Amino acid sequence: MAPQIQTGTYAKKGKLGKRFVRSIPFYLMALPAIAYLFINNYMPLPGLVLAFKNFNAKKGIYGSDWAGFKNFKYLFATGEAYTITRNTLLYNFAFIIINTILAIFVAILLSEMRSKFKSVYQSLILLPYMISMVIVSYLVFAFLSTENGFLNNTVLKFFGKSPIPWYSEKKYWPFILVLVSCWKVIGYNCIIYLSTILGIDRTFYEAAAIDGAGKIKQITKITLPLLKPTIIMMTLLAIGRIFYSDFGLFYQVPQNQGALFPVTNTIDTYVYRGLIQNGKPALSAAAGLYQSFVGFVLILSANLIVRKIDADSALF
Amino acid sequence: MFTKQEKIFQTVSHIVLAILAINALLPMILLFMSSITDDNVLIKEGYKFIPKKFSLYAYEYVFKTGPAVPKAYLISVILTVSGVVLSLLITTPMAYALSKKYVLGRGFLNFYVFFTMLFNGGLVPTYMNYTNVIGIKNTFFGLLLPGLVTNGMYIMLMKSYFVTSIPDEIMEAARIDGASEFKVFRTIAIPLAKPIITTIGLFAGIGYWNDWQNGYVYLTKRDDLYSIQNLLNRMVQNIQYLSANSQNVANADIGLASIPTVSIRMSMAVLGILPMLIAYPFAQKAFVKGITLGGVKG
């Protein structure tokens, strides 16, 4: 018995060794990515302890004194955590609901369109997605600039209204930001739904038409039910990222105007300002860790649910 | 043959989609029209869709005032090209390695890539690391390095393409014929994976061309390294920036009277948008394909 077991383990070792040797070229191929992800994603992780420190630039992250949960207590006690969390969540909810409904609406119209204009419409609606947020902020400025903007000088004048100082009146910004986000991402989202619709078997529609179902009925009885899995998937994945916001949208488009912070400050802009402008890196790190941690839990849970519904759509 | 209902539906669709398409374009039209309007008219009447007095002075000013704009263009181009090439050089081989089932420790490698999609340190630790440890602040690498592979998403996307769309048998046959793994990768896998490589290269390219954040965070002293987006970003706050920074202080010498303060923003933004608009018709098809390929997960 004994020698047999030995040959068995030898054989296994030999196999493992062979597998290892065969794997070497692939390890070499993986090397650049391993090194890059190490630098970009893993090396910073120990720096998260900064969230628990009294940061002192002279002593560095690791030399600074421990502060326990002081930074977090400050964040929550001053209400800053509340404001940035509320803004991040409410905007994301609005984006999820409005952008999803509009994207589906556009996707359905495009899918039913029997005209060569279809691709023209699609290209134009997708175009804003390709434009950087800095330039978007210029586009918005052309409309909203207090002195020279199109709205104040042309639209409001036409209606005989007095100019509005858009960049210091916070009450308009939730609408402006939702509008801008919608303008920018509708084309992108609608392509995802469109590709699902185009994958639907056309015979369903032909059969329904023979049975006398009109366009609207075909859409509500065939297209929408068959879109449901995609809608659920997209929504769940968006919920998984609900603690993250588009930094450019909330920082560039309101042009970093202090008067607008109560309605434009999200976790991402707060972290940025604390680090670069206000010199409070420890508070920033605490807000960032709060975001990463909740974000982690949300992504895991959202994915768990997605995997239950449709394993192929899951991230992992 | 359209039924009556179908006809109504088509007409309504046309109207709605046309409105949305025009809506997507309108801000850009306003931008362009304002950029070619005389500055004094703009000061009096604001940005308008129809220029009352046509003028190219803002453009003339941008190009005559100094090399800032052409230089920023050049940096944007170099950045975008090197960003795309490096991203693909990192992403493609890793994705290929992960697609091979017999690689020892594949589970670990998978997790190593995958974890970056779940959790990240966020801006502060990343900034501290790049600034204090790696030392890329105020160098060209500050623009390039932080965005090469933002997380494992593209690697995973490409990996699943290798797994599902490239038959193992072809590669196995080549290997039996004596080709090395590198040769199989280069001569068989890469050509077959062209669609996904194009897609990810395109996404990386758009990302780099549009990125302003890296320059904003990492280039605090080296504004000579500004990309076109950084230049635009800087001009949001400081309209004088372009001329203040140029060597040609005496504007009169080169025949420039005054800064076209109102139109110059718009002409700069047009210059920033232009390359994207030119490239868009060519890239659009691959882009749409890419969205459907990775959209649900992106």
Q: Which of A99-113, B26-40, B158-172 has the lowest mean pLDDT?
A: B158-172
Contacting residues for A299 by C-beta, under 8 A, at least 6 apart:
A240, A241, A315, B117, B118
C-alpha A107/C-alpha A94 separation (Å) is 19
* Helix, coil or strand: residue A234: helix
pLDDT computed for residue B74 by the predictor: 95
* Residue A109 to residue B16, Cβ atoms within 8 A: yes
* Residue A234 to residue B296, Cβ atoms within 8 A: yes
Is residue A115 very low, low, confident or very high in pLDDT (cuts 50, 70, 90)? confident
* Residue B45 to residue A26, Cβ atoms within 8 A: no
Find the mean pLDDT for residues B181-185: 94
Whole-number mean pLDDT of chain A?
90
Asked if B257 and B251 touch (Cβ cutoff 8 Å), the reply is yes
Is residue B61 very low, low, confident or very high in pLDDT (cuts 50, 70, 90)? confident
pLDDT digits (tens, 9 = 90+) for A51-96: 999 888 888 888 888 988 999 999 999 888 999 999 999 999 999 9
* Helix, coil or strand: residue B54: strand
* Residues of chain B neighbouring A271 (CB-CB closer than 8 A): 122-124
Please tell me the distance in Å from B264's CA to the nearest CA on chain A. 11
Whole-number mean pLDDT of chain B?
87
Asked if B148 and B194 touch (Cβ cutoff 8 Å), the reply is no
pLDDT reading at A32 higher than 90:
yes
C-alpha B189/C-alpha B168 separation (Å) is 10
Nearest residue of A to residue B1 by CA position? A114
Torsion region of A68: left, alpha or beta (phi above 0 gives left; psi -120 to 50 gives alpha): left
Nearest residue of A to residue B206 by CA position? A130
Dmax (CA) of chain B: 77
Is residue B292 very low, low, confident or very high in pLDDT (cuts 50, 70, 90)? confident
* Residues of chain A neighbouring B123 (CB-CB closer than 8 A): 268, 271-272, 275, 284, 288
Asked if B97 and A26 touch (Cβ cutoff 8 Å), the reply is yes
pLDDT reading at B296 higher than 60:
no
C-alpha A162/C-alpha A172 separation (Å) is 16
Is residue A2 very low, low, confident or very high in pLDDT (cuts 50, 70, 90)? very low
Chain A and chain B share a number of CB contacts under 8 A equal to 288
pLDDT digits (tens, 9 = 90+) for B197-215: 998 999 999 999 999 999 9
Please tell me the distance in Å from A267's CA to the nearest CA on chain B. 11
pLDDT computed for residue A306 by the predictor: 83
ipTM score above 0.95 = no
Q: What's the one-letter identity of residue B157? A: L
Q: Find the length of chain B.
A: 298
pLDDT computed for residue B255 by the predictor: 54
In a mutational test of the A interface, the residue from B11, B13, B237 whose CB has the highest number of chain A CBs within 10 Å is B13
* Residue B103 to residue A26, Cβ atoms within 8 A: yes
Nearest residue of A to residue B265 by CA position? A138
* Residues of chain B neighbouring A139 (CB-CB closer than 8 A): 27-28, 30-31, 269
* Residue B27 to residue A140, Cβ atoms within 8 A: yes
The pLDDT > 90 percentage for chain A reads: 67
C-alpha B161/C-alpha B95 separation (Å) is 9
* Residue B128 to residue A47, Cβ atoms within 8 A: yes
C-alpha A177/C-alpha A166 separation (Å) is 12
